[in-house]
């Protein structure tokens, strides 16, 4: 009989080879509790077994980097002894199962990642993907996900300052919910997650432990218990009130210098937190599961170890300070239980009523998982289909209206008005008023800007170039408010990496991310990988989402997107518009592989030019050209400013050799609209000439129509009609 | 006929509301109260009871996290 | 003079209120378990989700020990300002009439709105002009002011409606477009908009500053002539 017969490892997602490897590492078979622990820590989610090798390509260093990948979140120096910590993470699957709670607990999880470092969360951004809004299911998911994000973020007092939402058919059965949190800490006070000092106590803070999120591992439950019972609920319920108290409690413990280490409990619960803390400290841990406060009395040891109950943190403290720690927890009405200690054994030992129920080398759990090479293969053809929503040959005015009303382009006011974007009194630029959120930091006398971007459709067209574009767009957004990038975080949402074409997409996307970050000198300080995003209907668009944090000296000078009557308008950068992969191509059912390339260096030069100009305070408005092309970008600035535009794109047509239609609606990186007094744009033009950056005067703001001529084509739409189209997004 | 539908969080599912109320009680001098779970009561009149369960499953309750009980009045 | 900002578990805009108050006077936080208010001249019950807003917004917070001290403070004629969740708490505590129901669209709404000063004679608005429009953001899930018809008439008759949403700005379906009210004695005010988030043009607007200035001026005036309160 083979070693792999008659064990439930396959139901737990471990391959036979992985199971055999576990037996080799242990020199015996794992018991049920141990197998449960392995199955979770060796999952894709925890072990990154299909992506870790590729992720080594990413540049992670820079003088400003204080914490890089591997910690709960990355952190960069923002001066005056302060650090900004940030991370983006996915909560896709839970949101597809129960969208309100899935999204809510996604926010809860990313907040904990940030305050685990001792940083107070100061902002949340979300990147959401749903199927087309024509589908009732998508409308329901949108409605519930937005409500869930608002419920958690609003209740806990962290502003949701920005984000993006795209609607594309490939997300119909697999929505994406990525959330990014940004926190502020004193640089010298940040807590590591490494469990140091054998003899120190492990304290479990926060909520009690229930059977939340056990789902798949329930095959391990003793037969007597499961028989006749309904399937265990595996939906996790978020409790923002509990988390608010937990957060304030952790931050006060930190302020008082009472924490040796802190780690949140996320996927794989106690097992993952304890093992990672021990691995980080080169120590071991001992946990008595009978000391874990339970919500249901009859839980088995393995259930306690892998429960994903929310709003819990694991702290390492000096036992001499236990009374003081308990007093702080009492004050915040936060649960605290000493559940074990740090040891020097290099093992994680779990006991129940004094008996050992599991004992594993930490290294086997954390580093023992085999890492896989991918077998990438470029697909021959476009695999996502095409649907015609807009006939060819209709007049450009109607094209512009259709693009503005297209849910991915349209204003997301309906969603962001459901989020508190101003609590904590830092928000200088609110959602949709500028390309990036701007938060003032009175602690440093400066400000930060934050943006999140990622257009999966364009990545599907060309994973390498599409991912570069996502990084460039984020940097462009930051430039528009005058910010210089400090660091980047990312969430790679892809299908099954064991499929050759998905492997190819993943490999090319990571290479694009690496090349763009390298050339723009933006270090990647953290990230998250979410694979297997697919159903029988097929995989999602490959969707790398990048979040970027930048620094700016004077938040009062951050440009918004609203145009002002009389301002001159110029287009800055090497923007070479093409209809390939654009919103227009999608509406026409013209999608296919391939995107034109762009020089990262040339776009970088344009970014610097705009950033520096915004910092002088002479630029009234700045807006990058993105979904729906120049016409949509101009219309957005016009609608927000309540003023029309008179634009002539002939010069662009001539310079780029593109058609009028492509100049109106085509997309591509490296296009930044700036507006301001004529003298300011003249100065910008002169600086641009010296630096080899195109600054093309294209017109001015005025009147009450959007009038754009572009060689053979042109649009003329009343501001009112444009506004009606752009403000049409309603899921109900 | 009239029906009352009682919706409660499923056993084992976290009930943040019930927990918060329970924790606040001792401060108000209510000792010895525990096991609080907060649900909803929906009253309705229906021409037929045929689809009441479906109504509960699809709208009134979230079967993933809530249980419901249908109580018929007027002798049901 | 000193503002005291209550801090409940779940308060979110407590620090914002602290910062806003400090623009015009001294200010400190008051912990929910404190039984005395000490040197506090004006109590601010801040926004947020005290006790998670579970059961009903403000329903649990009203029983906090500090709220008993606030009730005594109000009874003695002391000034109390309840913002958003604080307004809800003051209504639950019976210090203000009426209740705040879930918004008409049943969704949380965060939006810059304009409110019109309907009574510029109160301790909270004496620095404003009758009819002045103030730009202040709202952000709440349950902000729809409700009172039975006779109570509403009584409120309006005595000039208790201090702030009304400007035409087209009512975000929640409040009765009579009511945004903020004052108690019969004129020393307790509740409002749904967040004046503490409207004290600096950099972060949006400064329409709320007038309320904090009015309070500071009111206290200073009382100190000068304590009998004229």
Q: Which of A366, A389, A417 is the last residue of a domain?
A: A366
The C-alpha atoms of residue A62 and residue C151 are separated, in whole angstroms, by 65
Instruction: Establish if A330 touches chain B: CB-CB under 8 angstroms.
Output: no
Residue A448: strand pairing partners: A439, A551
Instruction: Establish if C102 touches chain A: CB-CB under 8 angstroms.
Output: no
Q: How much is the mean pLDDT over chain A? A: 94
Tens digit of pLDDT for each residue in A268-323?
A: 899 999 999 999 999 999 999 999 999 988 899 999 999 999 999 999 999 999 99
Backbone angles phi, psi at A644, to 5 degrees: -80, 180
Residues A392-419 have a mean pLDDT of 96
Question: In this structure, is residue A239 part of a structural domain?
Answer: yes
Beta strands at A160-167 and A120-130: parallel, antiparallel or unpaired? parallel
Tokens of A114: 């940030």
- d(CA A472, nearest CA chain C) in Å: 28
The C-alpha atoms of residue A719 and residue A704 are separated, in whole angstroms, by 6
Displacement of CA A6 from its chain's centroid (Å): 40
Beta strands at C178-182 and C188-191: parallel, antiparallel or unpaired? antiparallel
Question: In this structure, is residue A323 part of a structural domain?
Answer: yes
The C-alpha atoms of residue B64 and residue A159 are separated, in whole angstroms, by 29
Question: pTM of this prediction?
Answer: 0.94
CB contact under 8 A, B27 and C65: yes
Q: What amino acid positions of C are annotated as catalytic residues?
A: 84, 194, 196
Q: Let me know: does A37 contact A47? Beta carbons within 8 Å.
A: no
* A173 carries an active-site annotation: no
Inter-chain Cβ pairs, chain B and chain C, closer than 8 A: 22
Residues A71, A77, A82, A87, CA torsion sign: negative
CB contact under 8 A, B13 and A333: no
Compare all CA atoms of chain A with the CA of B10 and give the residue at the minimum distance.
A233
Please pick, among A9, A50, A82, A91, the residue that the annotation labels catalytic.
Answer: A91
Compare all CA atoms of chain B with the CA of C33 and give the residue at the minimum distance.
B27
Query: What DSSP letter does each residue of A461-480 carry, written as one string?
Result: H-HHHHHHHHHHHHHHHHHH
Question: In this structure, is residue A346 part of a structural domain?
Answer: yes
Q: Is the pLDDT of residue A35 over 80?
A: yes
Q: Which residue from A242, A423, A428 is facing C202, i.e. has the nearest CB? A: A428
Compare all CA atoms of chain A with the CA of B14 and give the residue at the minimum distance.
A237
Rounded to whole angstroms, what are the CA distances from A145 to A96, A98, A373, A411, C170? 9, 9, 35, 17, 26
**Domains along chain C with CATH numbers:** 2-228 (3.40.50.880)
Q: Which of A366, A383, A416 is the last residue of a domain?
A: A366
The C-alpha atoms of residue B44 and residue B55 are separated, in whole angstroms, by 11
CB contact under 8 A, A235 and B16: no
Cα-Cα-Cα-Cα torsion A82, A262, A107, A560, nearest 10 degrees, comes to: 10
**Domains along chain B with CATH numbers:** 2-72 (3.30.1280.10)
Query: Three-state DSSP class for C26?
Result: strand
Kindly report the CA angle at A593 between A592 and A599, in degrees rounded to 5? 125
The pLDDT value given to residue B24: 80
- Total domains, chain A: 2
Query: Three-state DSSP class for A603?
Result: helix
Tokens of A694: 């195109």
To which residue do tokens 């109160």 refer?
Answer: C122
Domain that holds residue A214: 191-366
Other chains touching C, judged by 3 or more CB pairs under 8 Å:
A, B
- d(CA B28, nearest CA chain C) in Å: 7
C52 contacts on B by Cβ (under 8 Å): 16-17, 20
* A151 carries an active-site annotation: no
Tens digit of pLDDT for each residue in A123-181?
A: 999 999 999 999 999 999 999 999 999 999 999 999 999 999 999 999 999 999 999 99
Tens digit of pLDDT for each residue in C131-177?
A: 999 999 999 999 999 999 999 999 999 999 999 999 999 999 999 99
The pLDDT value given to residue A594: 95
Backbone angles phi, psi at A719, to 5 degrees: -55, -35
Q: Which of A366, A390, A419 is the last residue of a domain?
A: A366
- d(CA C51, nearest CA chain B) in Å: 7
Q: What is this model's ipTM?
A: 0.96
Instruction: Establish if C89 touches chain B: CB-CB under 8 angstroms.
Output: no
CB contact under 8 A, A233 and B19: no
To which residue do tokens 């419901």 refer?
Answer: B68
The pLDDT value given to residue A221: 59
Compare all CA atoms of chain C with the CA of A333 and give the residue at the minimum distance.
C9
- Largest Cα span, chain B: 47
Packing angle, helices A32-41 and A16-26, rounded to 10 = 120
Q: Residue A712: which CATH number?
A: 3.90.650.10
Rounded to whole angstroms, what are the CA distances from A135 to A172, A173, A400, A404, B60? 8, 11, 23, 20, 22
Find residues 539-568 of chain A whose CB sits inside 8 Å of chain C: 555-556
Q: Let me know: does A546 contact A490? Beta carbons within 8 Å.
A: yes
Q: Is the pLDDT of residue A688 over 80?
A: yes
CB contact under 8 A, C51 and B24: yes
Please pick, among A9, A45, A82, A623, the residue that the annotation labels catalytic.
Answer: A45
Query: What DSSP letter does each residue of A489-547 carry, written as one string?
Result: EEEEE-S-TTSHHHHHHHHHHHHHHHHHHHHHT--EEEEEEE---EETTEEPPPEEEEE
The pLDDT value given to residue C106: 85
Q: Which is nearest to A505 in space by CA: A588, A384, A628?
A: A384
Other chains touching B, judged by 3 or more CB pairs under 8 Å:
A, C
Instruction: Establish if A294 touches chain C: CB-CB under 8 angstroms.
Output: no
| Number of other residues whose CB lies within 10 A of the CB of residue B63 | 11
The C-alpha atoms of residue A397 and residue A714 are separated, in whole angstroms, by 8
B65 contacts on A by Cβ (under 8 Å): 98, 101, 233, 235, 237
């Amino acid at each position: 009989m083979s070693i792999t017969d008659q064990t439930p490892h396959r139901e737990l997602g471990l391959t036979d080879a992985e199971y055999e490897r576990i037996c080799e590492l242990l020199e015996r078979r794992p018991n049920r509790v141990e197998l449960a622990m392995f199955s979770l820590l060796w999952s894709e989610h925890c072990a990154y077994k299909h992506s870790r090798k590729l992720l080594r390509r990413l540049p992670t260093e820079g003088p400003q980097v204080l914490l890089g990948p591997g910690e709960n979140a990355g952190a960069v120096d923002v001066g005056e002894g302060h650090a900004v910590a940030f991370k983006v993470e996915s909560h896709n699957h839970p949101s597809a199962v129960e969208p309100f709670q899935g999204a809510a607990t996604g926010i809860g999880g990313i907040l904990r990642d940030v305050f685990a470092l001792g940083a107070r969360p100061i902002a949340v951004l979300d990147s959401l993907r749903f199927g087309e809004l024509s589908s009732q299911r998508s409308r329901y998911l949108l409605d519930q996900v937005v409500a869930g994000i608002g419920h958690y973020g609003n209740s806990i007092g962290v502003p949701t300052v920005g984000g993006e939402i795209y609607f594309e058919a490939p997300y119909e059965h697999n929505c994406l919910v990525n959330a990014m949190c940004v926190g502020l800490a004193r640089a010298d006070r940040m807590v590591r997650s490494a469990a140091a000092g054998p003899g120190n106590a492990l304290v479990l803070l926060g909520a009690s432990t229930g059977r939340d999120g056990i789902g798949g591992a329930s095959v391990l439950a003793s037969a007597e218990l499961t028989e006749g019972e309904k399937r265990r609920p595996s939906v996790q319920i978020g409790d923002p009130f509990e988390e608010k108290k937990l957060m304030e409690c952790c931050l006060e413990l930190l302020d008082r210098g009472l924490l040796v280490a802190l780690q949140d409990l996320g996927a794989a619960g106690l097992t993952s937190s304890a093992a990672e803390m021990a691995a980080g400290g080169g120590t071991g841990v001992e946990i008595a599961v009978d000391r874990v406060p339970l919500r249901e009395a009859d839980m088995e040891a393995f259930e306690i170890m892998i429960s994903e109950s929310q709003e819990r943190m694991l702290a390492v403290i000096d036992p001499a300070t236990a009374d003081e720690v308990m007093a702080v927890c009492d004050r915040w009405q936060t649960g605290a239980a000493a559940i074990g200690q740090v040891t020097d054994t290099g093992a994680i030992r779990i006991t129940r009523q004094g008996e050992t129920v599991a004992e594993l080398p930490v290294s086997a759990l954390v580093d023992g998982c085999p890492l896989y090479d991918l077998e990438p293969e470029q697909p021959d053809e476009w695999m996502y289909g095409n649907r015609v929503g807009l006939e060819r040959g209709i007049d450009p005015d109607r094209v512009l209206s259709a693009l503005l009303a297209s849910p991915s382009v349209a204003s997301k006011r309906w969603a962001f008005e459901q989020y508190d974007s101003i609590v904590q009194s830092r928000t200088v630029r609110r959602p949709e008023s500028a390309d990036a959120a701007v938060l003032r930091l009175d602690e440093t006398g400066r400000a930060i800007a934050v943006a999140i971007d990622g257009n999966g459709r364009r990545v599907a067209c060309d994973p390498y170039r599409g991912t570069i574009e996502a990084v460039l767009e984020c940097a462009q957004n930051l430039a528009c408010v005058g910010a210089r990038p400090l660091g980047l975080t990312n969430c790679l949402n892809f299908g099954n990496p064991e499929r050759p074409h998905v492997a190819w997409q993943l490999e090319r996307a990571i290479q694009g991310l690496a090349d763009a970050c390298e050339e723009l000198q933006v270090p990647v300080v953290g990230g998250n990988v979410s694979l297997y995003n697919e159903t029988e209907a097929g995989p999602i668009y490959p969707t790398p989402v990048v979040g970027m944090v930048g620094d700016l000296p004077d938040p009062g000078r951050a440009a918004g997107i609203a145009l002002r009557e009389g301002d001159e308008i110029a287009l800055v950068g090497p923007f070479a518009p093409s209809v390939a992969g654009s919103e227009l191509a999608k509406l026409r059912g013209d999608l296919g592989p391939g995107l034109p390339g762009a020089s990262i260096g040339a776009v970088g030069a344009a970014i610097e030019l705009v950033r520096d100009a915004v910092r002088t305070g002479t630029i009234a408005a700045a807006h990058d050209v993105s979904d729906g092309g120049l016409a949509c970008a101009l219309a957005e600035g016009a609608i927000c400013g309540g003023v029309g535009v008179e634009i002539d794109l002939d010069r662009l047509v001539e310079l780029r050799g593109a058609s009028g239609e492509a100049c109106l609606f085509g997309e591509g990186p490296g296009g930044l609209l700036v507006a301001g007094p004529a003298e300011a744009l003249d100065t910008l033009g002169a600086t641009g000439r010296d630096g080899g950056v195109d600054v093309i005067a294209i017109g001015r703001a005025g009147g009450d129509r959007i009038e754009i001529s572009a060689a053979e084509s042109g649009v003329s739409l009343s501001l009112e009609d444009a506004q009606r189209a752009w403000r049409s997004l309603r899921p109900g | 006929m009239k029906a009352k539908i009682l919706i409660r969080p499923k056993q084992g599912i976290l009930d943040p509301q019930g927990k918060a109320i329970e924790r606040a009680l001792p401060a108000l001098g209510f000792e010895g109260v525990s096991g609080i779970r907060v649900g909803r009561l929906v009253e309705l009149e229906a021409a037929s009871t045929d689809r009441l369960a479906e109504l509960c499953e699809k709208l009134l309750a979230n079967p993933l996290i809530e249980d419901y009980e249908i109580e018929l009045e007027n002798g049901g | 003079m000193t503002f005291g900002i209550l801090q409940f578990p779940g308060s979110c805009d407590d620090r914002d209120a602290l910062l806003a108050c400090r623009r015009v006077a001294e200010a400190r936080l008051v912990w929910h378990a404190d039984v005395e208010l000490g040197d506090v001249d004006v109590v601010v019950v801040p926004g947020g989700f005290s006790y998670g807003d579970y059961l009903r917004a403000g329903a649990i917070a009203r029983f906090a020990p500090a709220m008993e001290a606030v009730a005594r403070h109000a009874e003695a004629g002391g000034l109390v300002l309840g913002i958003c969740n604080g307004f809800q708490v003051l209504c639950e505590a019976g210090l203000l009439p009426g209740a705040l129901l879930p918004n008409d669209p049943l969704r949380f709404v965060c939006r810059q709105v304009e409110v019109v000063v309907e009574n510029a004679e109160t301790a909270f608005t004496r620095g404003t002009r009758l009819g002045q429009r103030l730009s202040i953001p709202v952000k709440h899930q349950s902000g729809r002011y409700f009172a039975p018809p006779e109570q509403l008439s009584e409120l309006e008759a005595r000039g208790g409606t201090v702030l009304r949403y400007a035409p087209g700005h009512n975000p929640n379906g409040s009765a009579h477009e009511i945004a903020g009210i004052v108690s019969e004695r004129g020393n307790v005010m509740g409002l749904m908009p967040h004046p503490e988030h409207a004290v600096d043009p950099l972060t949006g607007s400064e329409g709320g500053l007038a309320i904090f200035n009015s309070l500071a001026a009111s206290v200073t005036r009382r100190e000068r002539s304590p009998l004229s309160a």
